[in-house]
Amino acid sequence: MILGRVVGSVWASEKDPRLARHKLLIVRPHGSYELSPAEQVVCVDTLGAGVGEDVVVCLGWPARDHLGGHNLPVEAAVMAIVDRCDWDDELGRELDHKQSQEPNR
């Protein structure tokens, strides 16, 4: 799972019929994930999140499972809308620095 902020929406006049009633959101991850912080991910949203809200996004099989089908063309889904998140900037920077020092990263 990743923590990120909704930065936009995707409007598609044609999409897989199994996703017809779901909204597509653009989420920018917080912190260090396999995605760089500058990258965004398109997520299926069943919870009603909006631009500016922080969300928890699940990737891969868990995202498809959340939507009720393993054969859905989905890589990411919003699992939660965050009410509050406590983050220590110092600890976050330490973790980022340690990860960048590891070999093969």
Residue bearing tokens 């999409």 = 15
- The count of domains in the chain is 1
98: phi then psi, degrees, rounded to nearest 5: -60, -40
Q: How high does pLDDT run on average in the chain?
A: 81
Over residues 22-42, the pLDDT tens digits come to 899 999 988 766 655 558 899
List the one residue out of 5, 63, 59, 62 whose CA is nearest residue 31. 5
pLDDT value at 78 more than 50: yes
- 81: tokens are 């809308």
pTM: 0.75
CATH code for the domain in which residue 53 is found: 2.40.50.220
Q: What pLDDT is recorded for position 57?
A: 94
User: In the structure, what pLDDT confidence band is assigned to residue 65 with cuts at 50, 70 and 90?
Assistant: confident
Torsional sign, CA 69, 70, 71, 75:
positive
Q: Which residues pair with 76 in a beta bridge?
A: 59
Which residue segment(s) compose the domain that 95 sits in?
Answer: 2-101
